[in-house]
Amino acid sequence: MYTLYYFPDACSLATQVVLHELDQAVEIIDVQKVEDFSAINPVATVPFLVNKETGTSRREGAAVILHLLNKHENTLLPAAGDARDQAIQDIMFANATMHPAYSRLFFIAQHISDEQTQKKAFEVATAAINNLWQVVEDQLATQKFLGGDQPSTADIMLTVYSRWGGSFPVEIEMGPNTQKMLAAVLKMPSFERALAAEQKQSAA
């Protein structure tokens, strides 16, 4: 049984989806409803995962997910060999390359007030994001998902990030292979369950 501290529609959503894929019971807590989240997690970031049986905790998105995949039997992470190496690379690409690229959009919106300067910054950030989505498109040229014939953890993470562009005045370009992958992940029962859980929490 786990407790997952999350922020609505943030990267912590991917962790919740993975937990459902692993058939692990999880209680989710919106950090906006926690009086002093930094007292629980000193760096005050999500996801923050607590094992309710042992009391141990994990932070940093990719580290949390890899911990779960190594601990629980699954088909999301190959057991060994080149396929495992590729899967870990894909997870790191999502976490350390695509995620920061999208984070720039949030920074621009929050910290640049001059309209023309903001517009130019958005254009530069969008171009970088579109280049990354082209990398994904090329990798999907011969397979449905980054991991092959079934969704991988990286597909789940990228699908979460793909939802963020709609909050900004930008045009994110994704190729047909990428769009098919994202649509398939969005239809996964685990993804729908995670979204419903966050919506229920928000309404409470």
Q: How do residues 46-58 score in pLDDT, each as one tens digit?
A: 999 999 999 999 9
Query: Mean pLDDT over residues 9-21, rounded?
Result: 98
- Residue 140 in contact with residue 185, Cβ under 8 Å? no
Query: Over the stretch 123-182, which tens digit does the pLDDT of each residue have?
Result: 999 999 999 999 999 999 999 999 999 999 999 999 999 999 999 999 999 999 999 999
Q: Under CATH, domain 2-75+189-203 is a member of which superfamily?
A: Glutaredoxin (3.40.30.10)
Q: At what angle do helices 189-203 and 176-186 cross, to 10 degrees?
A: 60
Residue 49 per-residue DSSP state = E
**For residue 47, cis peptide bond before it (omega within 30 degrees of 0):** yes
Spans of all domains in the chain = 2-75+189-203, 81-186
Topology (CATH) of 81-186: Glutathione S-transferase Yfyf (Class Pi); Chain A, domain 2 (1.20.1050)
Residue 204 has pLDDT above 80, yes or no: no
Spatial CA neighbour of 117 closest among 156, 125, 93, 163: 125
Alpha-carbon Rg of the chain, whole angstroms?
A: 17
pLDDT level of residue 203 (50, 70, 90 thresholds): confident
pLDDT at 77: 94
